[in-house]
């Protein structure tokens, strides 16, 4: 009788140990995949923000080409609210290119880009309490 109790205890111990090892392996791989997915998203979002920064105060077709490439590749990984807000930005920008340097243009642009970045931050699980965004213009001066 004692041997069957010992055998049962040993089997439960072995099964429990195997279960712990299997679950640990599974959860570790899950975290690794999630980290890789997040890293991929960040690369796409970085390319998008770089393209947006390049086209903000220009009508240069090459800058819009980079924006298109970033947008299209981002469509593979971004959540729908990011894509929809980005479409809003592109549509608004297309309709308002003639107002490029007005104060109203800049305010509306910052409003839409704030919405976009809030969606991006939500997608990346970054806290966004009281988040505001303003695109900073970069002025380069030639050194003589």
Residue 44 pLDDT: 92
Residues 89 and 116: beta-carbon distance below 8 Å = yes
**What pLDDT, in 10s, does the model give residues 96-111?**
776 777 788 888 888 8
Location of structure tokens 């213009």: 137
pTM of the predicted structure, to 2 decimals: 0.71
**What pLDDT, in 10s, does the model give residues 45-94?**
999 988 888 776 666 666 678 888 888 889 889 999 999 999 998 888 88
Report the SS3 class of residue 125. Answer: coil
Report the SS3 class of residue 67. Answer: helix
What sections of 1-128 are H helices per DSSP?
2-55, 61-74, 80-95, 103-123
Residue 57 pLDDT: 63
CB neighbours of residue 38 within 10 Å:
14
Angle at CA 123, nearest 5°, toward 134 and 26?
150
Give the span between the Cα atoms of 21 and 27, in whole angstroms: 10
């Amino acid at each position: 009788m004692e041997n069957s109790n010992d055998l049962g205890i040993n089997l439960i111990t072995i099964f429990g140990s195997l279960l712990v090892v299997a679950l640990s392996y599974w959860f570790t791989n899950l975290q690794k995949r999630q980290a890789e997915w997040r890293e991929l998203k960040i690369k796409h979002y970085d390319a998008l923000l770089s393209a947006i920064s390049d086209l903000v105060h220009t009508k240069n077709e090459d800058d819009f080409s980079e924006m298109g490439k970033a947008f299209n590749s981002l469509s593979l990984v971004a959540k729908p609210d990011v894509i929809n807000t980005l479409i809003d930005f592109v549509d608004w920008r297309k309709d308002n290119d003639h107002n490029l340097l007005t104060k109203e243009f800049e305010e509306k642009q910052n409003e839409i880009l704030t919405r976009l970045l809030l969606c991006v931050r939500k997608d990346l699980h970054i806290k966004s309490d009281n988040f505001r965004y303003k695109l900073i213009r970069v002025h380069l001066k030639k050194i003589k």
